[in-house]
Structure 1
Amino acid sequence: ASDFKKQMIDVAPVLASVNGLKWKIWSIDETNKEASGYYLFENETKLNTYLKNVFFVGMGNNATVSNIVVKKFEILEEPTAITRGPIGKN
């Protein structure tokens, strides 16, 4: 596994304890040196607290990460439920 993958494995248990985080899906494209994550928080307040106090602090201290883009989206609950999206699960 790449060094980045190893870092993410080390970070995952810490992230799992973040207040309000229901789940995160991790993804990576090693060929293009890109990674992404899809997060589900209990509410926007907890998401914003995480971004301010954890995410940007941690990413700012990680020399292997650059060009960070954060986008917030509203979940379309009805079609997500039809396609079995895990929005109601921990």
Structure 2
Amino acid sequence: MEKVILYVDFQHQGPFGKEMAENLQTLAESINEEPGFIWKMWTENEKNKEVGGVYLFDNRKSAEIYLEKHMVRLSQWGYEDVTYKIFEINEQLTKINHSPILY
């Protein structure tokens, strides 16, 4: 099965940490229902005022569909200059480095 990584980040003035988690719990729960979604690591850097995520999807098409939906949501929330990339996974090298993605 093909797996892809979706990487997203953007500037965010806050909140961070526990307060951000409380504010975005419903969104986090809804992401679990996205077609092809496997997991997400939420990222934040309060010092640099950045947030984002690293997502694992079971196929590129699902990642692209989710990204389009997410970009609309971020735009509606006033976020601009969003960085995003979709990467295929080199399974042979990833397995050597003990990634749980392939197990």
TM-score between the two structures when normalised by the length of structure 2: 0.71
Partner in structure 2 of residue 17 of structure 1 = 33
Map residues 1-90 of structure 1 onto 2, 5 A cutoff.
2=16, 4-52=20-68, 54-63=69-78, 65-88=79-102
Kindly state the Cα deviation for residue 22 of structure 1 after the two structures are TM-superposed. Answer: 0.8
List, as ranges, runs of 4+ consecutive aligned residues in structure 1 with deviation greater than 2 Å. Answer: 1-10
Structure 1 runs not aligned, ≥5 long: none
Aligned residues: 87
Measure the CA separation in 1 of the matches of 2:59 and 2:77. 27
Distance 1:76 1:57 in 2: 30
Q: Any gaps of 5 or more consecutive residues in structure 2?
A: 1-14
Deviations 1:59-78 (A, max 9, x none): 11113x33201111121111
Deviation at 1:82, TM superposition (A): 2.0
CA RMSD between the two structures: 1.9
In structure 1, C-alpha distance between the alignment counterparts of 2:33 and 2:62, rounded to whole Å: 13
- The CA distance in 2 between the partners of 1:7 and 1:69, in whole Å, is 22
- TM-score between both structures, scaled by the size of structure 1: 0.80
1:21-76 CA deviation, whole Å, 9 max, x = no partner?
11111110011110121111111111111122x2112111113x332011111211
Higher percent of residues as strand: 2
Larger RCO (alpha carbons 8 Å, 6+ apart): 2
| Identical columns (%) | 30
